[in-house]
Amino acid sequence: MRFRMWAWLTLIIIILAGIANGANLGIRFASISNPSPIVTGLIALCFIAGIAGFILTEIRRAREIDEKVAAAIKQEQRKCSEELGALHRVALTELLRAARHYISPKPAQARACIFLLDPDLDQLYMYHHSGEYNDQEQEIKFGIQQGVVGYVLWQSGEPICVDLDGITYDELSQKWRLDAEQAEATRMVKTVLAVPIPNPNNRRHQLIGVLAIDSKQPPEISGLGNVAVVSKAVNLAEKQLTNFIINTAYRPIQRP
């Protein structure tokens, strides 16, 4: 904004200087000769056309400079945003890797992910993960009352460990309210430990998502005995997600 002000001020000074020089030349010409009205009119038209062309040229140049500066600023902002996003993802990856390590005796067989709530759709989506999740699992969404993560977010608000080994489709659809697509995407999961993630702004009863650690090999999750460890991971997740909350129009869910 400051650059734009100086650019326009410089342009005005140049225009005034051009007008002054043109007037000076006209006075000198008039003092030397006695031109006819036609010649005088042509000189005036040429002078006005020259000034107009000069003004338009300088305006175009000022706009081009302004556009280049704006583009450079946007590019720098985009670069900074990408760098911050990369650091944010690296931090979350390390956090989830540590959660897998501490919660499972065989970290390679455990997986961890963060589900965040989309308040406009009332759905939980996978925001970040560590471990082997296929495309279907990464794209699946849960309603706020669907699945283990939806139950934790809306119903309990407390960590739970669920053994899904041997559970039937009817149980998945009735108890956990999963549809056919959700049941198919999660049918290989045998154990799930889900921990709610509170709002980093520390408002009462507000949750922004769920940290879920699961395994396809039961019982690879040690259970609620390690909730203290997971709680530490959740505290770290809150800090990492603070920028996400602040920099978006995100509205945490408030449980009744």
Give the residue with greater pLDDT, 79 vs 169.
169
What confidence score (pLDDT) does residue 48 get? 72
pLDDT at 110 over 70: yes
Asked whether the beta carbons of 142 and 133 are under 8 A apart, the reply is no
pLDDT, the chain, mean: 70
Band (255; pLDDT cuts 50, 70, 90): very low
What own/partner pairs with CB < 8 Å and gap ≥ 24 does 43-52 have? 47/22, 50/22, 51/15, 51/18, 51/19, 51/22
Predicted confidence (pLDDT) per residue in 230-245, tens digit: 666 666 666 666 555 5
Band (136; pLDDT cuts 50, 70, 90): confident
Band (3; pLDDT cuts 50, 70, 90): very low
Give the residue with greater pLDDT, 88 vs 253.
88
Any idea where the domains of the chain sit in the sequence? 2-82, 105-254
pLDDT at 87 over 60: no
Nearest to 244 by CA among 113, 103, 81: 81
The percentage of residues in the chain with a pLDDT greater than 70, rounded to a whole number, is 53
- Rounded Cα gap, residues 104 and 214, in angstroms: 9
Q: Does domain 105-254 have CATH number 3.30.450.40?
A: yes
The pLDDT of 134-138, averaged and rounded, is 87
What confidence score (pLDDT) does residue 4 get? 54
Give the residue with greater pLDDT, 219 vs 252.
219
Predicted confidence (pLDDT) per residue in 191-224, tens digit: 888 888 877 665 555 788 888 888 877 665 655 5
Q: How many residues does the chain have?
A: 256
Asked whether the beta carbons of 110 and 173 are under 8 A apart, the reply is no
